[in-house]
Amino acid sequence: MRSREIDTPMLFPDGSDELPPIAGLMYSREFVTTAEEAELVTAIDAGHWDTTWDRRRQSYGKAYGRKSPADPMPSWGRMLADRIYARVKTPHAFDQMLVNEYLPGQGIAMHSDYAPFDRAVASLSLLSACVMDLDHPASASRHVVLLEPRSLRVMADEVRYEWRHGIARRKKDRWQVSLLLRRRRVSVTFRRLISEP
């Protein structure tokens, strides 16, 4: 089995799945425990949700593209950011955190993260699984990755800059021979801002 790890724990340790062979794509199952997941969701839900988007979100840390500064990263967010930094060895510590809520039927269009963010973007999935699509516009190559609850996904270098990622708007995902019904999903994404807009 090919390893895509870069100073990070091997993903898919049971060998039942294969990560797409894309440089810079990293994944770790059970990055947080079920107890930690419950505590994180409670802390997140105690925060202020921005409802001006088509899905609820919270933004913390260094602001980007906002007229008003974002709230400071809360202690639970700093703990997660430090844990990711220690395990993945990203070039710099994260200074921006975005929380997105996805209800069944919600998604996000294919995109690449903005250039002003640093070379590594990390995202923790909570509560529900979903399938993430990847495409490479230059070659028309496509892959899918299952994002499991409590899993960490890191995109750096090639996959960060040359590939797009997104989540289709649907209420269920087909993964191998299974049909997965989506439930409420919360993603916590960490980035570092390296230049102002």
- Report how far residue 192's alpha carbon sits from residue 40's, in angstroms, rounded to the nearest whole number: 21
Q: Residue 92: which H helix or E strand, with range?
A: none
In DSSP notation, 45-60 reads HTSPPB-SSSS-EEEE
Among 11-15, 47-51, 120-124, 150-154, the range scoring the smallest mean pLDDT is 11-15
Q: Which residues contact 90 (CB under 8 A, 6 or more apart)?
A: 84, 118, 119, 120, 122, 154, 156, 192
In angstroms, the CA 156 to CA 153 distance is 10
Confidence of residue 130 (pLDDT cuts 50, 70, 90): very high
CB proximity list for 71: less than 8 A, separation 6 or greater: 48, 59, 60
Cβ–Cβ < 8 Å for 197, 64: yes
Distance, in Å, from the CA atom of 21 to the CA atom of 185, rounded to the nearest integer, reads 26
Q: pLDDT per residue over 178-189, tens digit each?
A: 999 999 999 999
The enclosing H or E element of 61 equals strand 57-61
What six digits make up the tokens of 103?
């209800």
Residue 21 has pLDDT above 70, yes or no: yes
Looking at residue 62, its pLDDT comes to: 77
Residue 18 burial (CB < 10 Å; 0-12/13-18/19+)?
Answer: exposed
Greater model confidence, 146 or 118: 146
pLDDT of residue 65: 64
**From start to end of 76-162, where are the E strands?**
96-102, 108-111, 120-126, 130-136, 141-147, 152-156
Of the given ranges (24-33, 49-58, 64-73), which has the lowest mean pLDDT?
Answer: 64-73
**138 burial type by CB count under 10 A (0-12 exposed, 13-18 middle, 19+ buried):** exposed
Distance CA 191, CA 97 (A): 6
pTM flag (> 0.75): yes
Tokens of 45: 């839900």
pLDDT digits (tens, 9 = 90+) for 161-170: 889 999 999 9
Whether CATH 1.10.10.10 fits 25-191 = no
